[in-house]
């Protein structure tokens, strides 16, 4: 039978040991040469890789931003030491004092009055089903956390609010230096700046049933860039979490750095943080 039919030739059978030894040596040499080439010229990584968040689709943020009921405990950030009731009640670990007058108080009182009207409309939506567009949007944002609890619930509402509107400065949108919109106005135009995001989240969390003592708007002075910035703080399992429109990640209040807390706004009015009472690390 021909060697091409699958039977080894007599020559190959006679010199089989030498043949296979030669073949094995060539294979090993080739493998070592390939390894040498790989180690001398490793694959090049991007010199300016995009932030990790850029590679995540919007619906993937829940997996990296929320930790609930001990899930992913092995990869979760270390918890802050347990705080007593007084420390847990103090946002940023700082005492506050009421602000009796001023432009900030007037702005907040105006927004509170507008929000009261918004909530009245939302209540009618729940009662009879007929609902204006902006009211339905607010209900939908609040409902994103339905069926969830704790950090995951807050995170889903925060994400929905962030995705509902686009950032725009007051100068561009309104032609003025500073304009505070109530939730309906923000949702009608689908645009706003930091305090508009914060007001929308504040209303959405309240509409979701979170107690009013556990939701606040905070104004901080950022170091980089050097400007005031509004965010929402909400208390979950005894810890205050900061909801910032610049990121979908939920950060504990005591972990916020490169910023100085200035004011807190809630159902009690406007309060000023007492810097002399701070019990937190502020990193520059």
156: CATH: 3.10.620.30
d(Cα 8, Cα 140) in Å, to the nearest integer? Answer: 75
Q: Summarize the confidence of residues 57-77 as an average pLDDT.
A: 36
Check residue 16 and give its pLDDT: 43
Q: How confident is the model at residue 88 (pLDDT cuts 50, 70, 90)?
A: low
128: containing domain: 52-277
Question: Which pair of structure tokens corresponds to residue 61?
Answer: 């943020």
- Is position 20 within any domain? no
Better pLDDT: 214 or 36: 214
- Is position 240 within any domain? yes
Check residue 56 and give its pLDDT: 29
Beta strand 166-167 with 191-192: parallel, antiparallel or unpaired?
Answer: parallel
- Is position 237 within any domain? yes
Better pLDDT: 240 or 129: 240
Enumerate helices (H) and strands (E) in the chain, giving the number of each.
Answer: 10, 9
How would you class 121 by CB atoms within 10 Å of its CB: exposed for 0-12, middle for 13-18, buried for 19 or more? Answer: middle
Beta strand 227-236 with 269-273: parallel, antiparallel or unpaired?
Answer: unpaired
Burial 209-226 (b: 16+ CB within 10 A, else e): ebeeeebbbbbbeeeeee
- Is position 178 within any domain? yes
- Is position 229 within any domain? yes
- Is position 167 within any domain? yes
- Is position 23 within any domain? no
Averaged pLDDT of the chain: 77
- Is position 40 within any domain? no
* Terminal-residue alpha carbon distance, the chain: 85
Question: Rounded to whole angstroms, what are the CA distances from 18 to 21, 149, 169?
Answer: 5, 72, 80
Check residue 225 and give its pLDDT: 85
Better pLDDT: 248 or 50: 248
Q: Is the pLDDT of residue 252 over 90?
A: yes
- How many domains is the chain built from? 1
Peptide bond connecting 225 to the previous residue in cis, omega within 30 degrees of 0: yes
Contact 216, 263 (CB under 8 A): no
Check residue 66 and give its pLDDT: 37
DSSP secondary structure letters along 99-148: --SSHHHHHHHHHHHHHHHHHHHHHHHHHHS---HHHHHHHHHHHTTTT-
Check residue 220 and give its pLDDT: 97
Check residue 250 and give its pLDDT: 95
Contact 199, 115 (CB under 8 A): yes
> How many CB atoms within 10 Å of residue 202?
28
Residue with tokens 């105006």: 110
Question: Rounded to whole angstroms, what are the CA distances from 227 to 29, 74, 179, 271?
Answer: 63, 37, 16, 19
């Amino acid at each position: 039978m021909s060697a091409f039919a699958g039977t080894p030739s007599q020559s190959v059978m006679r010199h089989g040991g030498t043949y296979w030894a030669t073949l094995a040596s060539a294979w090993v040499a080739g493998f070592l040469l390939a390894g040498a080439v790989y180690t001398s010229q490793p694959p090049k990584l991007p010199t300016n890789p995009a932030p990790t968040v850029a590679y995540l689709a919007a619906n993937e943020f829940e997996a990296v931003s929320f930790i609930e009921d001990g899930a992913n405990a092995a990869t979760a950030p270390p918890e802050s030491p347990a705080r007593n009731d007084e420390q847990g009640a103090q946002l940023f670990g700082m005492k506050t004092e009421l602000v009796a007058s001023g432009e900030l108080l007037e702005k907040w009182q105006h927004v509170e009055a507008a929000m009261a009207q918004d909530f009245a409309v939302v209540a009618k939506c729940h009662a009879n089903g007929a609902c204006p567009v902006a009211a339905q949007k607010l209900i939908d944002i609040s409902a994103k956390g339905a069926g969830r609890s704790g950090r995951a619930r807050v995170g889903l509402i925060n994400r929905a609010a962030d995705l509902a509107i686009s950032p725009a400065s007051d100068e561009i949108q309104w032609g003025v230096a500073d304009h505070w919109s109530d939730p309906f106005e923000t949702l009608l135009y689908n645009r706003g700046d930091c305090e508009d995001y914060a007001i929308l989240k504040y209303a959405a969390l309240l509409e979701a049933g979170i107690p009013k003592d556990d939701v606040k708007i905070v104004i901080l002075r950022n170091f980089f860039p050097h400007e005031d910035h509004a965010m929402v703080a909400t208390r979950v399992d005894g810890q205050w979490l900061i909801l910032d429109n610049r990121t979908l990640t939920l950060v504990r209040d005591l972990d916020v750095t490169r910023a100085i807390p200035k004011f807190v706004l809630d159902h009690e009015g406007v309060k000023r943080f007492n810097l002399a009472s701070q019990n937190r690390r502020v990193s520059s």
